[in-house]
Chains A and B, each alone.
Chain A
Amino acid sequence: MPKFQSAAELEAFRAQILASRSASKPCIAVCAGAACDGLDSAAVAAAFIAAAQPLADQVEVRTTGCHGYCEKGPNVVVTPGDICYFEVSPADVPEILQATIKGEVVERLVYHDPNTGAKAVHMSEVPFYKHQTRLLTGDNPKIDPMKIDDYLALGGYAALVKALTSMSPQQVLDEVKKANLRGRGGGGFPAGLKWETTRNAPEKTKYVIVNGHEGESAAFMDRAMLTGNPHKVLEGLIIGAYAIGAQKGFMYTRHDMPLLEKHVRNALAQAAEYGLLGKNILGTGFDFECELHFDVGIFVSGESSALMRSIEGNAPEPRPKYIRTSVSGIWDKPSNLNNVETWANVPQIINQGADWFTSIGTEKSKGTKLVSLSGHVVNSGIVEVPMGTPLRTLVFDIGGGVRDGKTLKAIHFGGAMGGSIPADLIDAPLDFDGMSKLGAPIGAGGLLLMDEDTDMVEVARYLMDFLTKESCGKCVPCREGMAQMLQILTRITEGQGEPGDIERLQDLIDVTGVASLCALGKTSGDPLKSMFRYFKPEYEARIASGSATK
């Protein structure tokens, strides 16, 4: 295996990979993302691999990360042509294989519009994909996440080469700042400014961290990104480390996703083997290593200061951030933390420039955003759209509208710390600031659709129940405030609401929001706040009538 001593060696190797691959040789990509895996896509992949073995010179089979259209898994995409087959079972394998070799299409397995019956064969015609801009996830069907060569074949690590060989750390930082890349983890804080703070902090030892602890309810896109294309995230991290002046990085992720662990572990090992991690990367004198770290199974460990405590080996309890973690983080060293999706955006910004990146999106929210679409939606899955896309496009054009012919009641964004907005705000654009103003901040990007039958008190109770269990319990307003809110909400759902409950809840929201130690507590009342803003009559009626949740 090569250990590249220079950028030229890497480029020569890339040319070698490309020369050995024929673009016209058909390739069958079987999705092994979380949803497809749950539908036993492994059996489909195994059937393809077994059947294609004698035909190795005619067709290739690849197991890949998430394609996005979770609703219709197991997904299979055949190149060239990006022919999409849905709900594929092992029994369909021989037919697809034969058709692929002959250059034909298995008509019965392609997309059929549920209303008109119209067929869509190619990815660019399938409504779910047609309205997306898949800059980050588009490569997923083309990459076996266990093979760094697949990533290199698609131009992987070219941005790292460019940064290390033709840009100074300051130039890399300036480019990211100019791109106005905002953190995808929830807050939307400009990544470049955060990088700069860590870069300028006086301590010499600095850390960079990938926050891959996706714990928000109804959010599953970071998992797809990191499992499906781990090298893209790693490349972003190495570039960031170079700009910031960090010598060590951490990938912090969940302990309960074996496939993710396998892929990330493998990616780190391969990158080290190729000399993209370690001492003197590509002969440029830049040293960087990266360690994989797992959570201890609690949501709050995704909070930046708790996460850093966890990496230190302590219990994941948040620390007050009167001194920011970008200045004093892991072991009190400056530590820059960004979310998976944020890091994944870095390589393309370096490759194509800030001007290209800022041409996508709205005035203050640039680039694309990954959104997990779920709830009462026809097409659940992982979606990538330019910032500024109206929610209507997400819900109807891509999502196919509300399930079972029902009408839309509310759109919930941002998981357990997000908010719900009524259906009549559906033309709002997907934008960090705009959505925050509406009371449904994008958060990490979990979009939950709720149909006409949804009980909004029960939704708030459910989300509060989740957060109550995930609080660390260190500070009083979060621990006690949420427990009290949960108790009151539970009473209302049981038909035992009392006069004064709304005021009690309002007080609890106010104090918990101001007095809690970390973001979990501070935003725990946000769903309820949005409900009081848009759905208060429903709460009042429930308390007055004493009717229980059905």
Chain B
Amino acid sequence: MSEINLTIDGRQVKAEPGMTVLEVARREGIDIPTLCHHEKLEAFGGCRLCMVEVESRGRTSYAVSCLYPVAPDIAVRTRSEKVDKIRKLLVEELMAHAPDAPELVTLAREYGADRNRFAREASFCVLCGLCVRYCDEVKKKNAVSFFDNGAVRQIKFVPEVAKNECWNCQECFAICPTSYAQAAYLLTEALAFPGQHQSVKRATKAAARKRVVIPIAPVPMTA
């Protein structure tokens, strides 16, 4: 297949067919913010922060760059008044739930978002779905899942699965932008199977012998 020529922020770039605008931009060192994107996972298109302006055949449209396939002769603008307005408002909406999440705080600074713009509802989860999709696509365990829909959607750990799988993994804790995944897991454990997972029993016995503290810090993830 032949190379595709397009421009991103005025710069001529080449891409392979099938690549997304986000992939090409990142390769070129052009920054586009994302919250629900992870290179090990299928693109989700949920957070919409990576939205860019695409000019194709004289028509301007707005598309999420994590899913938008490169096409010949399109002109992509990663920043514009409208793009910035979209990102600002999306960050403001998410800050109603997780006002101190580090990634959101950084984005708020960049886009001038007001963390108090909308009525607070501190659920702490921004529903990026990283934990859900990581557990599904990479670990193939589905220990954590989306429940319900619309504004009441939430993530929940499935106790029957989590009991056996989560303690030795904890990988989703590290990729969660708000630490909510970890909190949700611990809550599930405390409510549904306190101290019952096999490894914690082992770890407790071992800890009693060695007098060490049971680790709970997120396991660092290898990229």
Which of A468, A475, A508, A516: most chain B CB closer than 10 A? Answer: A475
B129 to chain A: which residues have CB within 8 Å? Answer: 474
- Pair A504/B46 contact, Cβ less than 8 Å: no
Q: How far is the CB of A348 from chain B (nearest CB, A)?
A: 36
- B86 on the A face (CB < 8 A): yes
- Pair B150/A471 contact, Cβ less than 8 Å: yes
- B90 on the A face (CB < 8 A): yes
Give Cα A448 to B119, complex, Å: 32
Give Cα A479 to B46, complex, Å: 10
State how many residues of chain B have any CB contact under 8 Å with chain A: 34
A322 to chain B: which residues have CB within 8 Å? Answer: 63, 67-69
Q: How far is the CB of B23 from chain A (nearest CB, A)?
A: 14
Contact among B62, B82, B93 with A481 in the assembled complex (CB-CB below 8 Å): B93
Give Cα A306 to B124, complex, Å: 27
- Pair A515/B151 contact, Cβ less than 8 Å: no
Interface segment among A27-35, A56-64, A158-166, A482-490: the answer is A482-490
Q: How far is the CB of A505 from chain B (nearest CB, A)?
A: 11
**Chain A residue at smallest Cβ distance from B43:** A320
The B105-123 residues at the A interface (CB cut-off 8 A) are 117-119
- Pair A517/B68 contact, Cβ less than 8 Å: no
- Pair A471/B149 contact, Cβ less than 8 Å: yes
Chain B positions within 8 Å of A, measured between CB atoms, are: 44-49, 51, 62-64, 67-69, 82, 85-86, 89-90, 93-94, 96, 117-119, 126-127, 129, 146, 148-153
- Pair A511/B118 contact, Cβ less than 8 Å: no
Give Cα A300 to B127, complex, Å: 18
Closest 7 CB pairs of A and B: A473-B153, A480-B93, A483-B151, A471-B150, A511-B89, A515-B48, A473-B150
Q: How far is the CB of A25 from chain B (nearest CB, A)?
A: 53
Give Cα A473 to B44, complex, Å: 13
- Pair A320/B90 contact, Cβ less than 8 Å: no
Q: How far is the CB of B79 from chain A (nearest CB, A)?
A: 15
Q: How far is the CB of B115 from chain A (nearest CB, A)?
A: 14
8 inter-chain pairs at a CB distance below 8 angstroms, sorted by A residue, are A476-B93, A476-B127, A477-B93, A484-B118, A487-B118, A515-B62, A515-B86, A516-B48
Assuming A486-B151, A515-B90, A516-B48, what are 12 further A-B pairs, CB within 8 angstroms? Answer: A470-B149, A471-B150, A473-B153, A476-B93, A479-B151, A479-B153, A481-B93, A483-B151, A507-B85, A511-B85, A511-B89, A514-B82
The A200-246 residues at the B interface (CB cut-off 8 A) are none
A475 to chain B: which residues have CB within 8 Å? Answer: 45-48
B69 to chain A: which residues have CB within 8 Å? Answer: 322-323
Give Cα A40 to B94, complex, Å: 50
Which of B69, B117, B150: most chain A CB closer than 10 A? Answer: B150
Give Cα A469 to B48, complex, Å: 21
- A472 on the B face (CB < 8 A): yes
Give Cα A476 to B149, complex, Å: 12
Q: How far is the CB of B158 from chain A (nearest CB, A)?
A: 15
Q: How far is the CB of A480 from chain B (nearest CB, A)?
A: 4
Give Cα A484 to B121, complex, Å: 10
- A298 on the B face (CB < 8 A): yes
A477 to chain B: which residues have CB within 8 Å? Answer: 48, 86, 89-90, 93
Which of A300, A470, A515: most chain B CB closer than 10 A? Answer: A515
Residues A517 and B48 in contact in the complex (CB < 8 Å), given A473-B149, A511-B85: yes
**Chain A residue at smallest Cβ distance from B69:** A322
- Pair A511/B90 contact, Cβ less than 8 Å: yes
- Pair B90/A476 contact, Cβ less than 8 Å: yes
- Pair B94/A511 contact, Cβ less than 8 Å: no
Q: How far is the CB of B117 from chain A (nearest CB, A)?
A: 7
A470 to chain B: which residues have CB within 8 Å? Answer: 149-150
Q: How far is the CB of B46 from chain A (nearest CB, A)?
A: 5
Contact among A300, A468, A484, A504 with B96 in the assembled complex (CB-CB below 8 Å): A484
B146 to chain A: which residues have CB within 8 Å? Answer: 315, 473
- A510 on the B face (CB < 8 A): yes
Which of A315, A473, A477: most chain B CB closer than 10 A? Answer: A473
B117 to chain A: which residues have CB within 8 Å? Answer: 504
Give Cα A487 to B82, complex, Å: 24
Give Cα A542 to B101, complex, Å: 36
Give Cα A237 to B132, complex, Å: 38
- Pair B45/A473 contact, Cβ less than 8 Å: no
